A = this chain, B = another copy of it.
């Protein structure tokens, strides 16, 4: 049997008791999927907590032959496949379920929190959210704006909130690696809420100009949700360009025009304070701007 386990958003103890028991008492082999999100504790910490070895697998493993080997193993014994957040957060995990079904391998899912529901910790109500969108790191020549169409088409009417998931770049091969075939990777990059705000404003002000949102639109930064130092910071999109929300992972919520009184009160409660901003000119994005991206 394949035990598909969501680890939740915080540390090694944000796993459910049921999932922990399955790992400790049933599973001989434990894989950790570590590329669609990031774990806030080390794999060693997990091993210590489980009392078992954990094999970290990357995108190549999940999308290739590694999975076949894992499923062949799961035909005979209990195998755990750990995913940060919820176990169905990424498309690849549905694919895993299908491939398991094809091999007649039973799958048991252990659901957990995902940013897709934990964003409600901001006080904005889940049923007031529309479609979730993703924002990629822009480059001087590539500035995808399909997120703008989704907001315009699906969320603008009815005044819905939009959860904006921000780009994560881990295990990206360097240019040298691409040329030589060597396994060299760029340092990991995680988009911050300030970069996200700058990119969103760039698309509105310089590219689309359709008024889907503007500098005064309210947004909420969500940072390290589910961790000890979780933060929610609300301000305008213009202000967000200078917010320092601390370490990754960040997401951004574009607040809809229809805001319930309770939501309004929560937005006030999380309103940005002077100490939440980078001193002028010291934003890490200054460099990003100098590189000619925006």
A residues with a Cβ closer than 8 A to B are 6, 8-11, 13-18, 20-21, 86, 88-89, 91, 94-95, 97-98, 101, 109-114, 116-118, 120-121, 123, 125-134, 150, 153-155, 157-158, 160, 165, 225-226, 230, 260, 262-263, 265-266, 269
Contacts and interface: CB of A to CB of B under 8 A. Distances in A.
Nearest to A10: B18
Contacts of A265: 98
Given A88-B118, A117-B116, A17 B15 contact: yes
Contacts of A134: 127
A59 to B, nearest CB: 16
Stoichiometry, as copies per complex, reads: 2
Contacts of A130: 130-131, 154
A24 to B, nearest CB: 11
Nearest to A4: B121
Given A10-B18, A94-B262, A266-B97, A121 B111 contact: yes
A93 to B, nearest CB: 9
A117 B111 contact: yes
